[in-house]
Structure 1
Amino acid sequence: MIGHELGGRYEILARIGEGGMALVFKAHDILLGRNVAVKVLRQQFVHDEEFIRRFRREAQSAAALSHPNVVSIYDVGQEDDTHYIVMEYVEGSNLNEVISHRAPLQVEEAVKIATQICDALEHAHHNQIIHRDIKPHNILIGKNGRVKVTDFGIARAVTSSTITQAGSVVGSVHYFSPEHAKGVNTGEKSDLYSLGIVLYQMLTAKLPFLGESPISVALKHLQDHFEEPRAVNRHIPQSVENIILRSMRKNPSERYASAAEMLKDLESCLSTDRVDEDKLEFDADMEVTRVMPAIRGGDMYASEPAYDRERERPGYDNAQASVDRRQEGGPPRRKRWVKPVIIFGGTLLVLVLLFWGLRVFLSDLETDEVHVPYVVGKSEAEAIADLKAAGLLPEDPIIYEARPDIPKDQVFQQSKQNMMVKTGSYVRLYVSTGPVLEEMLDYVGQQYADAKTSLQNMGLTDDQILKEEVFSEQAAGTIISQTPTKGDQFQVGQVTVKFQVSKGLETLEMPNLVGLTQKEAIKKISDNKLKLGPGNGIVQEPSYRPAGEVLEQFPHEAGTQVPTGTEITITVSSGLPADAKEFTFNINVAPAQLGTSSDVRIVYSDATGQNIECCSQKISDWTTIPVKVILAPGKEAVVMVHRDNQFVDTFTRTYEQVQAGGSQGENVPGMAPPPPDPVTEEQPPVHNEGDNEHVNQGGNQNHEGNHDE
């Protein structure tokens, strides 16, 4: 069956239970998108037409029940030889498992469970449905603590058709009522007897009757007394024991008259004025089977005196009889007139009673008749007033039931209508208490998935449960707030529950703070919903970077995903280290050709960085350009001169050279002007020393300025 799609609608997911006549599966209703329980009739019963007919009829009757403590029946169907019932799926465990793991239960818990079972039975009995198989296996307890009674109606089919089949009812024999064990018709009081056993077992962790076989257990229900609950568990209040003692009387007439009466007792049994009430006392149970002496066939007249039988013989005379009686020591014969007097007196008494009954009957015939007013749809007060105005009375008690489609305090049914009745007759009224209201639980702090399952077990559908996801410091999936709030009353079919659910902390990409000034970094941290770390989150550290510049960010590098509110520590330059050295290159640079102008650009590398643009300017004569550099121990500074977009010269200083002291300008000469136009007569050019020196300087690119002093 697993994986099979039953009826084209129910996808079978897993097997979750079994009984004598059916298997139970968890399934998914594809049409409505919900989980359901599917009970499938065992194959050995599928050809029993009488059983199938009763199975369907009783299942349909159970489907008519609508009560918060009754498992709802959704569908009944057949596919080929497979007969199935679709019902509400309850997430939780059955009472038998609870008893196995935790019995004896606390008195308050056991009474609460029994109260809900009894409430379900009262509703079923009101609808003329007898369960006939109340036992812990048929009581489901949801994760929200709500009790659900299942298998309504099906048990009746079992008792009528399959009780004689091996194994079909063995599991229930411990909860049989005496009349059930006798095989006679069972009614409402049989269910109450079984409920008494369930309550007994919850409080004592044992069954009242045990035996080596089902027959021996059934006989004990008929003839044995059970050990009283308080003898097993002294913590049981007397008021609770009284409920068990009364519900488990072997004589049905000594039990509760109805489930409503037992429910009323359960609801008040733990009140302070009842827990120490007197123990109930009953007369000797006449239902207990008595052992009678065996009677032999030849002794069937043993109770008749021998002399009475003897006188029937032919020829036996009265004189002889008198002698015989005296010899046998028998009693003297009764006088003959006594019997006629008794007959006459009895006849006279019967005639008197008949005469009295006739007078009463005739007086009833003389009572006026009135028409029963139709009060359905009216308020309770109006209905009572109308009945009294017509000379009728409302039957006590008035029946109150929850009806979601009928306003509160409105009459929805009456026992008599459209007929003539005697004045003073009673009319039973059924009054709506409105819809069944549930109390909203507190789901804040719980996981959304668990809260949704709990609400679905109450009967809410997916479209009645709304979720709004927000960023928060709580774990993802945790409920932050809810509407309605804890304790609010709501109607299952008319409410929309809204949850605000955490989707965890909001995340963002860590910005790059390195290279920013301290002020810029702090602003960027705030703009991205981040925080500075412990203290002020700023660490000062000497460096060769400008003072106030961010050197490092910790613990997250730029580009990583981090939650909002993450703490960041930045390391900021506090200025040069103590051992840093400053040095200034005085670069004397001339135009590329004297008498013209040139564009000069100077780039340097030192401890603060590489290829740093120093300055650019246009010159037309020798110009001194200062270049300030920073040196670290063991490092050197390099200055590169570019003129008219061409590299011209490089100058260096090491840390040790600067530490030794001394400095001079660095020269970058240009070229001499071009020679004048040639003369007509060839004469050797005349040069003075200054010109030669200048030309030589201009033609020598390896100026002495390139050499260290």
Structure 2
Amino acid sequence: MKIGYALDGRYQIKKTLGEGGMANVYLAYDLILKRNVTVKLMRLDLQDDKAAIRRFKREANSLTELINPNIVSIYDIGEDHGMQYLVMEYVDGMDLKQYLKLNYPLSYERVIEIMQQILAAVSEAHAHGIIHRDLKPQNILIDRQGNVKVTDFGIAVAAAEETMTRTNTLMGSVHYISPEQARGSIITKQSDLYSLGIVLFELLTNHLPYEGNTAVAIALKHYQGQMPSVREYDANIPQSLENVILHATAKSLTDRYQTAVEMSADLKTALSPSRQNEVKWTPSEIEDGQTKVLPDLTNFKDVNDDLTQTKKLGTKQSKPSQAKPAPKANFFKRHKRPLLALGIITLIVIIAAVLSLPREATVPDLRGMTRAEAERMLKDEKLEIGSTTYQASEKYSYHQIIASDPRQGTVVKNGAKIDVIVSSGLKKVAFGNYRGKKYKQVKKTLEKHGAIVYKKTKYSDKYAKGTIISQSIDSKQKVAMSQVTVSFTVSLGSKNILLKDLLGESLSKVQAYADKYDLNLVIKHASSNEEKDTIISQYPYAGTYIGRGGNLTVTLSDGPESSSSSASSSSKSKKSSSSSKASSAKTFSSSSSASTSTQTLAQRTVTIPYSGTDGQAVEAKIYLEDKIHSLSSVYKTLQITSDTQEVLSFVLDSNQAGKYKVVVDGEVVVEDNSVTP
């Protein structure tokens, strides 16, 4: 596709992002909505392939059903001059393979956070009967904010319509395929969970569990090989976290996690102290492909052996000898025919009785299967599927069987009908709008319903500290709370605080004020005619701005120094109070009655250069030295996302010079050792 061409006059191609088996992927610009989008355009050599077109449209239809913050959204489907195209959300970031390469090793908490978001996406797909079939790091995207987006449902198929591979070839990437995919057997939702077990292995070790010279060799290892231990790569990995991998990658479907929700719940508590001494997980079922020992048949004898005579090859059979004349016909010979008839009748009656006896079968375990899968299994057991009722379920995904009646293990007659209870999925409700609400309370409420909640912080002049500014899930989006992973942006309050007049306030009130705005309170004492234990001066002054984390210095009255000097102290106190309220003054008297030196106020506007990338926050530390502060202590810490200006105020004695420096990533980026008024 030529750069600059506009599909349907709307989606202008900007550059090529990649090429796939059936479609090429482009970055495009939506000329109407003014935003970047991803366009998948079917390859020109497949435009006349009806099967390929059906498959391409099936991908589009599958994606339209999936609405989840961790799944790449589809915006539009169309055709331009015979070219089939699909317009999707553009994710500005990288795939998980690249992310791991750049950021390995990841913390265990970050690994779990990534996996939880992937599982939320897979759970949503499974709830709509869609199996991804090709889950791998290359199909999992990470945006610049660290959010996960699962993409490429190009070979996904509605499980209710088709569960077998469409050809004899293996589908999906061989390093991540399940044992049932490797042998070309039925693929279920648990096949996706196996692939995610491999992804988790890779996130923890930066290695793949199985390697080989050919795809067949690797596939055989998935089918037959034992899963290596991640603890061989990193002995610090908790056994409980390795157990999630072992459970997800069990060869037997019975031993493997039944649903993405079940795997997510286990992963959620993997780092819990209560699981610190967990033993290694082992499967309970005999794995497929194990050698079965047959019973010894040497002691069994064919009932026909006593009735069969052996003939030697190449010899003539001797003639029977002349029978001697039989004695006079006895009773049996006289009644031969009637007795023979009676025997035949008796035999027929016995055979009829045996045939009329009811044949029996054992009801198999149908839990986790779709109705179509259960119907096939029951047919093999000479049973039939009966009525179907639907029931909401936290454990089983949409269209999976919850239970059967009679239940599994029950012995029934051949041909019996087995009723099934099928999951209607989780009850979905509108997520709700939490903007402006207290984060701690919202987090507590949502986690009670099983949601996973993450927090980001941001300064805000509009929202009070601790309240929610924004949320990653739209308020009207229908969700199942137990499957939700949501990120809230929480206010840190205003970045700069306009100081109020604290003179005359008690120390407890000033301390509460400092705590509210994250200020470091510095307390000094001085004799004064003002009421004891009240504030007689403050710095910075009322009406000036101070950044969060800055120092607020106040002087606390100790009462009059002595009765003889009360008048003088009172005069000095009033003069100090008057001077403190005049925030624009450049010269003021010391609040200490014992000092007569003159102090001056100097200010410097400092520009801190931004050294980060793409707006990611960088920590800048400011050190300041004056009459009050020491250059050895941090004066203020900032999180900057661009070049930032800060106004620094210095209290200096006469003939004293102030100093300051700004440190970013361990390097001094700005400094001045001669600050004067």
The TM-score normalised by the length of structure 2 is 0.48
In terms of fraction of residues, the more helix-rich structure is 1
The TM-score normalised by the length of structure 1 is 0.46
